[in-house]
Structure 1
Amino acid sequence: MRPLDPSRRRFLALTAASAASVTALGLPAVPAAASPAGHGHGDGAEPDFGPNVFVYDPTTPVEEIQSTLDQLFAAQEHNEMGLDRYAVLFKPGRYEVNARLGYYTTVAGVGAHPDDVEIHGAVRVIGQPDPNSPAGISALTNFWRSAENLAVTPTDWSNQWAVSQASPMRRVHIKGILWLEPGNGGYSSGGYIADSKVDGITINGSQQQWLTRDSELGGDWTNGVWNQVFSGVVGAPAQGFPDPPYTTLPTSPVTREKPYLFVDGAGRWRVAVPRLRRDTAGTTWAAGAPPVPSLPLSDFFIARPTDSAKRINQELSRGRHLLLTPGVYHLDRALRVKHPDTVVLGLGMPSLAPTTGDAALRIEDVDGVRIAGVLVDAGPVESEVLVEVGKRHSHRSHAGNPISLQDVFFRIGGPYAGRAVTSLVVNSRHTLIDNIWAWRGDHGKAGTIGWTVNTAATGVVVNGDDVTAYGLFVEHYQRWQTIWNGERGRTVFIRASCPTTRRARRPGAARPATAGRPTRSPTTCVSTRRGGWGSTRTSTSRWTSVATGPSRRRAGPACGSTTRSPCSWTAAAASSAPSTRPAPRWSARTAPARWSAIPDPPIRTPAGRAPRPAGVRPGDVTRIRRNTLHPSSRARWESRP
């Protein structure tokens, strides 16, 4: 018998592994031979999404559905760095189930309207035991899961959604109380809600920060810790920052909701592609809303993790859209999106993992591309960039039909010892960024985390003009969190957090002065040439700075939003254009007057970064001083041996 070629062996191995992961849960698996990895389907046919997608209708026994949900949760509750991905889809109807979501699990309705799928019970995320929390429980690592396009009538006193980053709730109708914390005041670090409605009160509880966009609140939003932002939310609390910590914008300047799967009245599967909207408030599906444009699912290539990057690129080059089914896609080359209006939609948190040092995804400077619902993992060979939108020096206007990135999450380290210089580079004008979490891991599997292990210089670089970002979460990068070079940029909510580990000192080197605080990395939290209405900066050193008023920042390590201490920073909102008004005043709560740093990390920095000040060389021990109590003072660099 002739031996199998390597690509065929890989296909069979990955298919068997996927089926085995489902079979191990005691759930029925689709045989690998039942359908080839070809994956289009006729308009009237039931699509084959592979063994990790479960599709239910009201005729399915409720015991079967509940058993599946319970087994998935048992497998995924603590599987933070695992490779399994799942999606549970509900066709229109009523279901009496309690869906608890673990890692890499999506629960979604596939009706044309959220109320077409009624869950009587719960779609919820609960806290995890945490010995470091005074409450003994937290949601600080409840990442990578989602709920979409359904209605929930809680049969308990509330529907709990205790999440942190990368766990969006979109197009959901909560017919009762929404509870966002794990309980007992346990820590939580969310979060994101869009195009949703809550009939009752929303209990924010311990959530450090949260962004709610284009939604409707029927009851009160209770309390808040650091930063709660509301953009285009009907029923939002009044502006009150910093006490209470609410930043409220009456409308969102420009939005386009995430694409979603649904089944039409004739039983045909389609993908909705919502329109661009401007100056909006409330949901897209309120009474009187116009029909949402859609595409037949037959126009999509339904990809499996067993498909090669070459095969997927062939389908994209033919002008087909792409639906990524759950799993991890190991890519020996970048996926390339070249045609206008292409939709790339992930189902069940699929991961794109480059293996050869190329990017995971490159998007040409064309109109209307939509990328949604994917996780990008850096691979073992360092990539210059993981996702690139447009080419450098792109100048084409996309004002009427922008490129959009929605629920796109980046990870450096954790399941692998990944490396990347920059996670996301946006060169195209008018790009919409809607809920991004770029995370250089501070915990993960053994051997995947360390200052010289999971290296990453910069989280996000925005070179394009007129870019709008909602929910820009960027954390733990070793040099820069965000570099914004484009003009007329707008942001609504930024979170930037410096790393929790630092480069080891050279033997015999003097320890930098810390003014009684822990010295960590020399990472810089940067936002440049972007108007800002408000920002909050907090840190493990327990001090807070607050800036208010539109501002224009010049690029450079000494700009007003630069830090040289362990910090996290969240910006509430941004103006529609850079302002010529003076830079905002900084107020401080027990704020140190000086920040100090240790040597720069031994890693490359991305093209387009602001130049290093004269006389400061890579490897120098540098100190940046800024008197935060006097806004007129200028930050200065000093170099010492």
Structure 2
Amino acid sequence: MGFNSDRHFVDERFAILFAPGTYTGIDIEVGYYVQLAGLGAKAGDVVFKDCERGPFVEALNKHHIVGGRPGLSLDTFWRAAENFRTEATQGQLWAVSQAAPLRRVDIAGPLLLHDNGAQASGGHLANARVAGPVDFGSQQQWLARSVEFGGGVTLGAWSMVFTDCTGRVPEPSAGAADAPAVTVDAAPALTVEKPFVALRPDGRFELRVPAPRQRRAEGPAAAAAAAAGPLGPDLEGADDDVRGFERVFVARAGEMAGAAAARINAALAEGKDVVLSPGVYHLEAPVVVSRPNQVVLGLGLATLVAPPTGEPCLRVAARTPGVRVAGLMLEASVIPPAEERGFTATLLEWGEEEEEGPEGAAAATPRRRTGQQREEGNNPFEAVATFFSSVLAPAVGQPGAEARGATKDPGDPGNPGVLTDVFARVGGSNPDRRVATDVMVRLHAGHLYGDNLWLWRADHVALRAGEAPNFPPLDYHQVVLGECPCATGLEVCGDDVTLHGLAVEHTQGDQVVWRGERGEVQFYQSELPYEADAAFGRGGHAGYRVAPGVARHRAAGVGVYSNFRDHEVPVAAAVRHEGGRPGVVFENAFTVLLNNKGLIRSVVNGRGGPAAEKGKPVRLRLGEEEGGCCVS
């Protein structure tokens, strides 16, 4: 069921669900597109014991020696395990990379996040208790959120972020070329756990929606909340909102051919929550959530394939607080060119784009032509450069947040919208390399919270029938110029948006554009596009951009990497904030040359760098500043 890389781009999806009870002698590998989950109201209601490994993920292709180690964990994507206790004698092995969360688990022994040092690029551990030691080993970077560490911690390679963690949490550190940075946020303003399905003693299912845990406060109250320290994991669920399945629509992909969106939207219009059973849902129109507090939960990495119109897989209506979207994969389709559709194509749209501000002033995100709009044969990176110059330059003269406040959707600070384990991709499983979107995810509403997002423009895709790899000995087809176009992974227009665990990779323009005020990111990982040519550098693109005019923003544990396979591509800065302000802060920002050509010349706004030595992170030091943009 997905034990090796041959299943990298299959269409099967699986959820392995365990009723409350104790399971002995079970060792089960969690493969591609598999979610293993307990069905208890408490994490301890499902127990694996008298076994060696319980649920586990090991490195792939261990018959190959890579970097002196057997196998690789760089491709152990798209899988999940949650809501159980393990007493496995060898501890918990979870040697994964992106889009492979381990959450709501109680681990009685050690936790190994690598397999004998095989290279790995994770990862996300959330709402967990680990009694034994935790070994990050060969992990390049990792986020631990709301984790209780009972034993010691062996750090990984480049960047380790600890948010709302208790116990034996490592001390903060700025890191070095041969030592990881350690970022610690002991008292985040907000954490929200993922909704999940549980089984009642009478055999009926229920949907449990954890309550937000907030520290949002000003003045002395904020100081008192911070002084109280981290909250740590919630494995009991005492404050969950428990909803019976009589108000839940369970979607089944095999029963919805040609009408998936219509069936799902009919249930949402009735006010029901939606649980998507494992499968691939080819949408004829967007799924639309328009009522407060509704839940759309995917099981077994349920996958929504975007409509062929360029509209998103999922749209959350404006001014709809408390919506939860969790456990979903979002995939791009082949769509019409921009001049035919006349709007920005996305995979997820939360809220509505502003049309105009007070007294007709232009708002922060005007209607615009998209990065896909270009004449046939033009360089895609030149086209994207034009797109961004037209979008970002006017922002300098636009009204500030105060002037725009009346037109923006502020969200509800007491009832935030939440995205958990949402993974988007442009290219991959579809052998048609014309699949496209402009922006994978756009967040217009305020007071949103995200926990574990991976937004991936493919660097490699499935082979067509009879096709050989174009860059042997690498498997699959490696993406080249013009294939799987996408300008940006994430665009944030709303204020007060918090993300814990964000990875955005390989888009043809800025990977992230952040326009809203008071945004916060704990943990960011990004690779720039492999196939880029010099036009990417000339366009001034960055791995993370805070738009001009933003006064307050904070991002911690920010890593941007380069691996320019085909061309020399000098990139001015990994992170950019033109006209930087003191309220825009980057903590433990760094860049790494992974391999091949080109280089990133600086870390933030021309400071730090260049990253010229393979595998050696280049970091900014405490107190460095550039143009008023604080770096700590």
TM range (shorter): 0.7 to 0.9
Q: Which residue of 2 aligns with 1:86?
A: 14
Whichever residue aligns with residue 527 of structure 1, its letter is R
How far apart, in 2, do the equivalents of 1:88 and 1:569 lie? 46
Tell me if structure 1 keeps the 8 A contact 2:601–2:611: no
Tell me if structure 2 keeps the 8 A contact 1:586–1:628: no
1:334-373 matches, cutoff 5 A: 334-356=286-308, 357-365=310-318, 366-373=320-327
3-state SS, counterpart of residue 207 of structure 2: strand
TM-score normalised to structure 2 length: 0.72
Whichever residue aligns with residue 246 of structure 1, its letter is V
Higher relative contact order (CA 8 A, sep 6+): 2
Offset at 1:73? 4.0
Offset at 1:494? 1.1
1:172-251 matches, cutoff 5 A: 172-183=105-116, 185-235=117-167, 236-242=169-175, 243-251=179-187
Offset at 1:99? 1.1
Aligned pair in 2 of structure 1 residues 117, 526: CA closer, same or farther (>3 Å)? same
Q: Which residue of 2 aligns with 1:117?
A: 46
1:369-518 matches, cutoff 5 A: 369-381=323-335, 384-393=345-354, 394-416=408-430, 417=433, 418-446=435-463, 449-503=479-533
Tell me if structure 1 keeps the 8 A contact 2:572–2:600: no
Tell me if structure 2 keeps the 8 A contact 1:199–1:219: yes
Q: Which residue of 2 aligns with 1:527?
A: 545
Whichever residue aligns with residue 442 of structure 2, its letter is V
TM-score normalised to structure 1 length: 0.71
Offset at 1:491? 1.0
Q: Which residue of 2 aligns with 1:261?
A: 197
Tell me if structure 2 keeps the 8 A contact 1:478–1:522: no
Tell me if structure 2 keeps the 8 A contact 1:85–1:326: yes
Offset at 1:91? 0.7
Which deviations, in whole Å up to 9, do the C-alpha atoms of 1:30-56 show, x marking residues without a partner? xxxxxxxxxxxxxxxxxxxxxxxxxxx
How far apart, in 2, do the equivalents of 1:473 and 1:633 lie? 25
Unaligned 5+ residue runs, structure 2? 216-229, 337-343, 355-407, 465-476, 565-569, 614-619
Whichever residue aligns with residue 558 of structure 2, its letter is S
Aligned pair in 2 of structure 1 residues 544, 526: CA closer, same or farther (>3 Å)? closer
How far apart, in 2, do the equivalents of 1:370 and 1:131 lie? 43
How far apart, in 2, do the equivalents of 1:570 and 1:535 lie? 13
**Match of residue 302, structure 1, among 215, 227, 250:** 250
3-state SS, counterpart of residue 347 of structure 2: strand
Tell me if structure 2 keeps the 8 A contact 1:496–1:568: no
Q: Which residue of 1 aligns with 2:224?
A: none
Tell me if structure 1 keeps the 8 A contact 2:523–2:555: no
How far apart, in 2, do the equivalents of 1:478 and 1:179 lie? 35
Higher CA-based Rg? 1
Tell me if structure 1 keeps the 8 A contact 2:592–2:611: no
How far apart, in 1, do the equivalents of 2:153 and 2:501 lie? 19
Unaligned 5+ residue runs, structure 1? 1-71, 504-510, 572-582, 593-626, 636-641
Q: Quick check: 1:330 aligned with 2:266? A: no
Aligned pair in 2 of structure 1 residues 133, 350: CA closer, same or farther (>3 Å)? farther
Whichever residue aligns with residue 20 of structure 2, its letter is P
Offset at 1:100? 0.2
Offset at 1:214? 0.8
How far apart, in 1, do the equivalents of 2:2 and 2:560 lie? 35
Aligned pair in 2 of structure 1 residues 520, 145: CA closer, same or farther (>3 Å)? farther
Q: Which residue of 2 aligns with 1:319?
A: 271
Report percent identity of matched pairs.
33
Report the aligned-residue RMSD.
3.5
Which deviations, in whole Å up to 9, do the C-alpha atoms of 1:427-481 show, x marking residues without a partner? 0000111110000011121267332120100000000001001101000000110
Offset at 1:414? 0.7
Aligned pair in 2 of structure 1 residues 445, 318: CA closer, same or farther (>3 Å)? same
Tell me if structure 1 keeps the 8 A contact 2:208–2:241: yes
**Match of residue 281, structure 1, among 231, 247, 261:** 231
How far apart, in 1, do the equivalents of 2:601 and 2:241 lie? 38
3-state SS, counterpart of residue 376 of structure 1: strand
